Amino acid sequence: MYFWDKYRKTTKLHNSYVCLGLDPNLELMPKYLLKKSNPLWEFNKEIIESTKSKVAAYKLNYAFYLSCGLSGLEALGKSIDYIPSYIPIILDVKVGDIANTMVQYAKAYFEYMKVDAITVNPLMGEDVMTPLMEYKDKFFFVLSITSNRSAVDFLKKGSLYKDISQKIDKWGYLQFGAVVGATNPKELKIVRSLMPNTLFLIPGIGKQGGSLSDVMSNAIASNNNPSVLINSSRGIIHKCDSEEFASSAAEETEKLRNAINMYLN
């Protein structure tokens, strides 16, 4: 199934534009889970089970799994397999290299890990994108303007984020989306004007200080077709560090879903 098909099906079925970040941190999770043979997997399993009817997509940040070595990669694989097949899975890797290397990355992420989408660093240009385009049913979220403060060093300096946005629009919205940080209220409207049909993956709500109001006022394509996935990770999955962590995550996901939908009704 093509990424867009999954996106449309899940947003309609769950009435949700929430992209839940599965970024499990051993230091923040309930202590009793640390006694399990694979705490990351046990944590994710409970989170997925409690939120799978409330999300539009899941995003898994590769670093949180890689940092735990082989057990972390095992947890990543099990989590991908456990997510219902109709829900889009985004692997957050921010990868971008020469074409020969990108072929190998694409094979790993799409043929072996079997995710639906990845995040991409575009700074090495067309070489990064060309091998990805061979995977017609997959999707690529390209860094346009990120939510971190030091985005001002490069992406927000001059016209770089605008140049990248124009490239994303040129490459086509059927395969290419954009990572657009919620902490950039002035730029949100600009990048939407440059990418009118592009699907935006929007981090930065919550812990990073982004405003949902700014996002919904400036970043959605239209009320009937918002073309957004609003990501929240630690603010949901690590809201509670007791045995009620999964039910707490479900409650926080529901709150965000309802808050988003208030702007669309």
Instruction: Give 10-residue mean pLDDT values along the chain (265 residues).
Output: 94 98 96 97 98 98 98 98 98 97 97 97 94 96 91 85 96 96 91 97 84 94 93 96 97 97 90
Instruction: For residues 249 and 85, give the distance between their C-alpha atoms in angstroms, rounded to a whole number.
Output: 21
What is the number of structural domains in the chain?
A: 1
Q: How many helices (H) and strands (E) does the chain have?
A: 11, 8
Instruction: For residues 73 and 114, give the distance between their C-alpha atoms in angstroms, rounded to a whole number.
Output: 14
170 is catalytic: no
Q: Which domain holds residue 79?
A: 3-262
**The pLDDT of residue 265:** 73
Q: What is the CATH number of the domain that holds 177?
A: 3.20.20.70
Q: What percent of the chain has pLDDT over 90?
A: 88
Hey, what are 246's tokens? 């999964």
Hey, what are 223's tokens? 């009320």
Burial 128-155, CB ≥16 within 10 A → b, else e: bbebbeebeebbbbbbbbbbeeebeeeb
Instruction: For residues 52 and 48, give the distance between their C-alpha atoms in angstroms, rounded to a whole number.
Output: 5
Active-site option among 78, 94, 156, 255 = 94
